[in-house]
Structure 1
Amino acid sequence: MAELIKTIKLIDIDLKFYEGMVISEVKEDVLFELNHVEQILRICNEVFEGKDYVYISNRKNNYNVNPTIYFELKDVKSLLGIGIVSERYEALKVANFEKQFSPVPFDIFSTMEEAHAWAKTLLKKAGL
């Protein structure tokens, strides 16, 4: 695993930043809405200084995502892909539904190692 660069704890979300990658962990029972997306995009833009990155959501907690948030990502040029990691069948089923709304590459994994490998291939394709 890459070296941890920075950790940012928000009210509803913890973000861990690595080279070209951010891993989020949304807290239990949160309704993940547009304001969360805007906040995360702003922070990612600052931390990555506008460079390309991959977003990985570690879904170990139970929370809801408003699928329309994905429409807001269509103009985010630096976001190379979204990976969802969960061992819970229900979370994977929901992620599969969300996938159809995503304008960027979106994949689902049962382990963080698989998600990391996928993120590395996206970063490599982008020349990073």
Structure 2
Amino acid sequence: MIKKNLELDFGSIFIHENVLIAELKEGILFSVENNRKLLELGRDIFEGRPYGYVSYRTNSYAVDPLVYMESSRAANLIAIAVVSNNELVKLNARQVEQKFYKNPGAFEVFDTLEEALVWMKPKF
């Protein structure tokens, strides 16, 4: 159940229990500045409590690789899930993005949003 929806210039953000879900706009470059807005939003909404992030990749867009390094250092961001039905996107997430997260149980790739939310639930 979605508790809060936010529209930002780079995409839609949904807050679901202890999870921030981002569905970014088609064709954007997701920059470090955009990521800082998301991390700040997570810090403010969850008030320093642990939370998870779901990158709900329904659209095609580019990501500045520095985003992954910055996200991996966020204190209260404890789990990240990528959701996509595109095999290339999932392969890239597993081979590139996952390497930035030191805890092997903190990053996973899924076919559906429901699967990602079920995976996140026991982490809180």
Structure 1 gaps of 5+ residues are 124-128
Equivalent positions of 1:91-102 (< 5 A) are 91-96=89-94, 97-102=96-101
Q: Which amino acid aligns with 1:36?
A: N
Report what 1:7 is aligned to: 5
Report what 1:61 is aligned to: 59
Cα RMSD after superposing both structures: 1.4
Structure 2 gaps of 5+ residues are none
Q: Which amino acid aligns with 1:111?
A: T
- Return the offset for 1:54: 0.4
Q: Which of structure 1's runs of 4+ aligned residues deviate more than 4 A?
A: none
- Return the offset for 1:103: 4.1
Report what 1:48 is aligned to: 46
Normalising by structure 2, report the TM-score: 0.90
CA distance in 2, matches of 1:35, 1:103: 23
Structure 1 counterpart SS, 2:52: strand
How many residues align structurally? 121
- Return the offset for 1:114: 1.1
- Return the offset for 1:17: 0.3
CA distance in 2, matches of 1:19, 1:66: 28
Q: Which amino acid aligns with 1:99?
A: Q
Report what 1:126 is aligned to: none
Question: Does residue 70 of structure 2 align to residue 72 of structure 1?
Answer: yes
CA distance in 1, matches of 2:47, 2:53: 15
Q: 8 Å contact 1:58–1:86 — kept in the other structure?
A: yes
Report what 1:32 is aligned to: 30
Q: 8 Å contact 2:7–2:13 — kept in the other structure?
A: yes
Normalising by structure 1, report the TM-score: 0.87
CA distance in 1, matches of 2:102, 2:38: 17
CA distance in 1, matches of 2:56, 2:73: 24
Report what 1:122 is aligned to: 123
